[in-house]
Chain A
Amino acid sequence: MEDQLLIKNGRVVDPANNVDEVLDVLIVAGRVAEVGHVSPAVQKSVSRTIDARDKLVTPGLIDMHVHFREPGDEEEETIASGSAAAVAAGFTSVVCMPNTNPAIQYETDVEFVHRKGRQARKTHVYVMGSITKDRKGEELAEMGMMAEAGALGFTDDGRGVQDPAVMRQAIKYAAMFDTVVGQHCQDNSYGRDGVMNSGYSSTILGLPGMDVLGEEAMLWRDIQLIKGANVRYHAQHLSTAGAVDLVRQAKAQSLPVTCEVTPHHLLLTDEAVSEYDTNYKVCPPLRKQRDVDALRQAISEGVVDALASDHAPHLQSEKELEFLAAPFGIASLECALSLYIKALIDTDVVDWPGLIRMMAVNPANILGIDKGTLSRGKQADVTIIDPNEEYTIDVNTFQSKSRNCPYQGWRVRGRVEQTIVGGEVRFERSKVSV
């Protein structure tokens, strides 16, 4: 560990402390020692200085929704490869989803993920546990013991808990542990075999659709279920205008509801499926332009709490199947930041502090981890970003094992220069061999 690290002259964006100005950040023994103008004497004594002129210095970014596929599908991603991808993308903390094979459903599974994360020595690797055994939506998994082992929340992500009686019990029970309950809002009754959004595009392509009502019906149900339950509820990867409207209404009633949105649903519509390119097959599916507009609007109003990549790596051989047969998911971790910039900053939906709020401050609060700020004394997770550097997304440069990314060839901006985790520089762009 570098004992003293000085990040000089960067634009420090630390929304939790209302900081947005050119300052120095001094890290000592893995913690933030000072954010301000560091004296020349100290500048001389530090073991390393990073010149962050014209760069952004932000609290370490947090991606609260990734699939690292371990255990079970290590050919698609491992916790090690995913962690390398995470730091290359500026994420100092990630939360793995439990839809592995087998699912994360015992305390030992949680410990396994943590151990693999520590061994990778890249990013902080957290995990959510399953709500139900084998994610079948029938019997509760051992939520208490998983929480004790450090699971940051629960979800059956990949599918929603269909049975309202099961979800009611899960919500009531989870109130004991002060962890967030997540939901992949999708009531299968509204399109059981669907592979894309239900609408004009699915009609033209002759593909079975998933109705927006499936997402909205489950979210509405869950919002009713949490009333009086004293539990925090987090709606994962919302995609429809109606869904963010439900969150807006729930927040107006001060219900403990938060939500996240992925880059896909902020940038793409179901028209992108036109050539049956399975890289656009994602769940929830790409919706219509009015949904994209509604999500951006909700972000501008502060209705959306977090941005999450929903990084879902898959083998090329699986994605080369018929659209009906191919798996859902997009490998997006390593372009996520640039995609958010394109969707939200370049369109004046939010400014940098607003973006960092959704990429660090709010995720930390939802997850209940002591992160997301550069306050003095905090563990030094810091991301240094060159906001203006343009580049072309090239899946072949990904640290991730997978290449299923529809953004290949997109011209974007915003690159991560350094990622500092616990005071240690874990990623440095200048050291990446091209």
Chain B
Amino acid sequence: MPISKSHLRTTKRHSGMIPHIKKKHKQFQWQRKHLLGLRELSREEITYILDTAEGFEQISTRSVKKAPPLRGKVVVNLFFEDSTRTRSSFTLAAHRLSADTLDFSKESSSVSKGETLLDTAKNLEAMGIDIVVIRHTAAGAAKLLSKNINACVVNAGDGFCEHPTQGLLDIYTIRQMRGSLEGLRVAIVGDIAHSRVARSDMWGMTKLGAQVTFVAPPTLLPPDVRQLPVQISYCLDEVVEKVDVINMLRIQFERLGGNAFPSIREYSRYFGLTVERLSRAKDNVIVMHPGPINRGVEIDSKVADGPNSVILQQVKNGLAVRMAVLFLVNQAAAQT
């Protein structure tokens, strides 16, 4: 059910330790005990997470940065792939909700030998955990887990498929700046083919009414990309002037080996967000980056640190969004 614009940004009425969910959601009941991706979420569900996150934002500004809703619960960070930012953010989010956390990292991504993913997860579950936050190089790993364990599963990135909390925090940040995504034009620039962020952004943003354009060399676009609900451009110069949001993806240097582009220098020439390019954008354009950034490659330092950049705001919002997600999946699990 679409939410009319007039209902967005109603006054916040937070009371007590647990955020008050706004009046417009009176009829709505969050029911998912897993967050696997934004593709499967409705517009209403996405909005509900964002509104819940708004309620949590203020916890981080208190002197005592803690609320009790996950007290006595155990959140496991099950990371099969390197991550500093996302894991820290989830850990902090869990702690702010008073959960205990357990970090479980595995170097190896290929689990065809040794203990399988399911065995690892079932072993953890036997220790009495409540929520698994999983990052894995294999697309579908979070889904596989959700079908085989009783704990809640939160996808923290699976292969090139989805990174829903990143998508949500991107959307949250834009909404914070502009009130709504309705009618906004968003450019996502870089290695779309291998980006779970691009996919989660695409599903979430288009559901909330934004127009998304993927900007990349054809070698970094996935197969049948024109069947996705986005526009495609090979030319950042053309797109930069028209958009309200520019989300710069990190370029992976290992793509050079696959001849996706001839050199970093040439990539930056066509797809780097330089000061000069930004000068042709709308004055209030929002510049985003999921991090970690390659300064001087996909984004100039002056742009990353400049007035249009919300890169650190994204990190900050990530915490509130992840608190909301942990809170909601736990609540849904308690109801079933």
Q: Are A206 and B199 in contact (CB under 8 A)?
A: yes
CB distance from A327 to the nearest CB of B (A): 8
B161 touches A206 (CB 8 A): yes
- Contact in complex: B110, A203 (CB < 8 Å): no
A215 to B91, CA, bound (A): 46
For A317, give its contact among B116, B199, B222 (CB under 8 Å): B116
**Interchain nearest-CB distance for B137 vs A (Å):** 7
Given contact pairs A324-B137, A325-B110, A325-B112, A276 touches B143 in the complex (Cβ within 8 A): yes
Number of interface residues of B (CB under 8 A): 29
Name the CB-closest residue of A to B203. Answer: A204
Q: Are A325 and B222 in contact (CB under 8 A)?
A: no
A117 to B161, CA, bound (A): 45
Tell whether B162 is near chain A: CB-to-CB under 8 Å: yes
- In Å, the complex CA distance between A326 and B144 comes to 12
Which residues of B are found within 8 Å of A209, using beta-carbon distances?
223
Q: Is B39's CB under 8 angstroms from A207's CB?
A: no
Residues in B neighbouring A203, C-beta threshold 8 A: 222-225, 227-228
Does A370 sit within 8 A of B, measured CB to CB? Answer: no
Q: Is the CB of A322 within 8 A of B39?
A: no
Q: List, in ascending order, chain A residues with CB within 8 A of B199's CB.
A: 204, 206
Within 8 A of B (CB), among A290-342: 317-318, 320-326
Would you give the shortest CB distance from B95 to chain A, in whole angstroms? 29
Note all chain A residues with C-beta closer than 8 A to B117: 321-322
In whole angstroms, what is the CA distance A210 to B260 when docked? 17
Nearest chain B CB to A385 CB, angstrom units = 37
Bound-state CA distance A15–B111 (Å) is 50
Q: A321-B116, A324-B159 are in contact. Are A206 and B139 (CB under 8 A)?
A: yes
Contact B139 A323 (CB under 8 A): yes
What mask results when residues 95 to 118 of chain B are scored 1 for a CB within 8 Å of chain A, else 0? 000000000000000111000111
Q: Of B144, B161, B224, which one neighbours A199 at CB under 8 angstroms?
A: B224
Residue of A nearest to B227 (CB): A200
Q: B116 contacts A320, CB within 8 Å?
A: yes
A276 touching B223, Cβ below 8 Å: no
Question: B interface, by DSSP: helix, strand, loop or mixed?
Answer: loop
CB distance from B155 to the nearest CB of A (A): 11
A141 to chain B, nearest CB (A): 27
B158 an interface residue at 8 Å Cβ cutoff? yes
User: Is B319 close to A, CB under 8 A?
Assistant: no
* Closest A residue by C-beta to B160: A206
Q: Does B141 contact A (CB under 8 A)?
A: yes
B138 pairs with A322, CB closer than 8 A: yes
Whether B136 pairs with A322 at a CB distance below 8 angstroms is yes
Complex Cα distance, B225 from A198, in Å, reads 11
What's the minimum C-beta distance from B207 to chain A, rounded to whole angstroms?
Answer: 15
Q: Is the CB of B140 within 8 A of A276?
A: yes
- B39: chain A residues within 8 A (beta carbon): 204
Chain B residue contacts of A318, Cβ below 8 A? 112
Q: Among residues 202 to 224 in chain A, which have CB atoms less than 8 Å away from a CB atom of chain B?
A: 202-209, 211
Asked if B135 lies at the interface with its beta carbon under 8 angstroms from chain A, I say: no
Chain A residues, Cβ within 8 Å of B227: 200, 203
- How distant is B150 from chain A, measured CB to nearest CB, in Å? 17
A207-243: contact bitstring with B at CB < 8 Å (1 yes, 0 no)?
Answer: 1110100000000000000000000000000000000
**A321 touching B139, Cβ below 8 Å:** no
B250 adjacent to chain A (CB < 8 Å): no
Binding site for B on A (CB under 8 A): 198-200, 202-209, 211, 275-276, 317-318, 320-326
Q: Which 3 A-B pairs have the closest CB atoms?
A: A206-B161, A276-B140, A322-B138
